[in-house]
Structure 1
Amino acid sequence: MSARIDPGSTIFFRLTIDGESLGSFNGCEGLSSQVEIEHRQEGGNNGFVWALPTRVTYSTITLTRPLTADTKKVAAWISSVTTGIKRPTGQIAALRADGSEVAQWGLLDVLPVSWRGPRLDPESPSVATEVLEIAHHGFTD
């Protein structure tokens, strides 16, 4: 009998930009796209209305994690935007706890949108986390 992989196991996400890893993240939200539809009525055809695809839009992706040594890689990438916008390709890989890959998404023309560091409050001790938001122009292989 073959070993069954538990789909409910802990998943983490690795972000790479042009092949360089920016580290692993605990949370990933916003991997989505939407096709805008234009409706057209055809004269003499009362059975349905044509639904024609027009523009595809992609949501921004939000990645979260506790602060790590890889935080400086994210800061360097964001700082590079000030010297000229280069829109590299990126990849997000969903990995199991043992490092095996569950799925991956290639991203075209990636751009950092925002970064939020930890809230440093001695009255509310919690894990110091960072949040990275990125935009892209679509998915690729």
Structure 2
Amino acid sequence: MSVGARDDPYLSYRFVVQIDALFVGGFSEVSGLSVRMDPETYEEGGVNDHVHKLPGRADYPNLTLRRGMTDSATLSRWTQRTVDGAVTRMDGVLFLLDETGDIGWGWAFVDAYPVSWSGPDLSADSSSVAVETLELAHHGLRPVPGLPPGVGTALQDIGGLLG
């Protein structure tokens, strides 16, 4: 890193979601970006001072996506197809954006499909945004390094995210 260069952390409120090459993201919240590997223990005969611990199988929790409801029916149709028994697995990427709107880092998720959808709580006494929640099961996360400067903004423009 050169003298005077900044290496600021990414902000957690700047992100977009892409599913099968479609930017579907104006999500307000995403959770479930984690992996856990419970160690397997192996007791070796003749070794009495310790137990070997080997990495176990990776377990990825479901991703939960929350956003204000829009007129876009892409995610609703996907969920309904799953409810109807026509499960369509899709790959996707969650991208963090830097302060200029460029894609800075991301996580690809593989073979995802909807396992839960919930609509907004409706109340005549409230003026809050109607929020829908979509939960996706998937087969794993892979880190996606940042793209060259300017490419992320161009991809968002193509995807129609920037006003």
- TM-score, scaled to structure 1: 0.83
Query: Which residue number corresponds to residue 48 of structure 1?
Result: 50
- RMSD between aligned residues: 2.3
How far 1:36 sits from its partner (Å)? 2.5
User: Is residue 2:156 matched to residue 1:127?
Assistant: no
Query: Which residue number corresponds to residue 24 of structure 2?
Result: 22
User: Is residue 2:76 matched to residue 1:90?
Assistant: no
- TM-score, scaled to structure 2: 0.73
The aligned runs of 1:89-108 (5 Å cut-off) are 89-96=91-98, 98-108=100-110
| Aligned residue type for 1:61 | L
Query: Which residue number corresponds to residue 73 of structure 1?
Result: 74
State how far apart, in whole Å, the 2-side matches of 1:21 and 1:138 are: 20
| Aligned residue type for 2:80 | S
Query: Which residue number corresponds to residue 41 of structure 2?
Result: 39
Q: Percent identity among equivalent residues?
A: 36
How far 1:102 sits from its partner (Å)? 2.9
How far 1:44 sits from its partner (Å)? 2.2
Q: Which runs of 5+ in 1 are unaligned?
A: none
Q: Residues 32 and 47 of structure 1: is their aligned pair in 2 closer, same or farther, counting only changes over 3 Å?
A: same
How far 1:31 sits from its partner (Å)? 0.6
Question: CA contact under 8 A between 2:119 and 2:132: conserved in structure 1?
Answer: yes
Q: Which runs of 5+ in 2 are unaligned?
A: 145-163
State how far apart, in whole Å, the 1-side matches of 2:14 and 2:70 are: 14
Equivalent residues, number: 140
State how far apart, in whole Å, the 2-side matches of 1:130 and 1:50 are: 46
Q: Residues 134 and 37 of structure 1: is their aligned pair in 2 closer, same or farther, counting only changes over 3 Å?
A: same
State how far apart, in whole Å, the 2-side matches of 1:9 and 1:110 are: 25
More strand by share: 1
Which of 115, 118, 121 is the matching residue for 1:116?
Answer: 118
State how far apart, in whole Å, the 2-side matches of 1:25 and 1:108 are: 19
